[in-house]
């Protein structure tokens, strides 16, 4: 998956070298929790690319603070502070990680939802003996 600095939509005055470095960093880190990221095609690739572009743009704006962009605007709803020491250090937000993993899982299963066991699923009836039969019989 290749993202170019022009796809970031940051306009003129973008430091191409920094933007390309941010793209490389974000893509490499995303590959850790979404290993099949580089094998995606079609709509799955477009969806994953959109998430990665969001992360790259936020990182670029936060670091460079483009004219007219405050730190709180660069961070979205996650920060209201204008002090750089209070800015979140995480590159990806949890929902972005979940979204990228879901995209990779959907691509692996042919586009459907990932196949997983339901949480709290019960075994099929009759697989286990009746608990009442295992209790000791006490004299009455």
Task: Tell me the pLDDT tens digit for each residue of 52-78.
Answer: 999 999 988 887 665 554 555 545 545
pTM: 0.64
Q: What integer pLDDT is reported at residue 1 of this predicted model?
A: 72
Mean pLDDT computed over 30-48:
92
Residue 78 within any structural domain of the chain: no
In a domain, 32, yes or no: yes
Query: Which structural domain, as residue segments, surrounds residue 108?
Result: 16-68+87-119
**How many structural domains does the chain have?**
1
The phi, psi pair for 4, rounded to 5°, reads -105, 155
| pLDDT over threshold 80, residue 51 | yes
How far is residue 72's CA from residue 74's CA, in Å, rounded to a whole number?
A: 5
Residue 81: pLDDT above 50?
Answer: no
**Cα→Cα distances 54→16, 23, 66, Å:** 17, 11, 16
- Non-local CB neighbours of 61 within 8 Å, separated by 6+ positions: 10, 69, 73, 74
pLDDT of residue 80: 45
Q: How high is the pLDDT of residue 40?
A: 92
Judge whether 3 lies within some domain.
no
Q: Is residue 24 part of a domain?
A: yes
Buried b (16+ CB within 10 A) or exposed e, 39-68: ebeeebbebbbebbbbbbbbbbbbebebee
Share of the chain above pLDDT 70, in %: 60
Residue 137 lies in a domain: no
| In-domain check, residue 37 | yes
């Amino acid at each position: 998956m290749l993202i170019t600095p022009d796809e970031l939509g940051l306009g003129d005055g973008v430091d191409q070298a920094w933007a390309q470095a941010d793209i490389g960093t974000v893509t490499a880190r995303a590959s850790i929790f979404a290993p099949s990221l580089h094998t995606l095609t079609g709509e799955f690739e477009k969806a994953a690319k959109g998430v990665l572009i969001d992360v790259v743009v936020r990182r670029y704006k936060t670091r460079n603070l483009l004219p007219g962009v405050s730190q709180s605007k660069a961070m979205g709803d996650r920060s209201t502070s204008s002090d750089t020491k209070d800015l979140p250090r995480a590159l990806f937000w949890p929902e972005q990680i979940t979204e990228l993993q879901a995209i990779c899982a959907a691509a692996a299963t042919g586009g459907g939802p990932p196949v997983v066991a339901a949480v709290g699923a019960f075994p099929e009836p009759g697989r286990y003996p009746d608990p009442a039969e295992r209790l000791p019989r006490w004299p009455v």
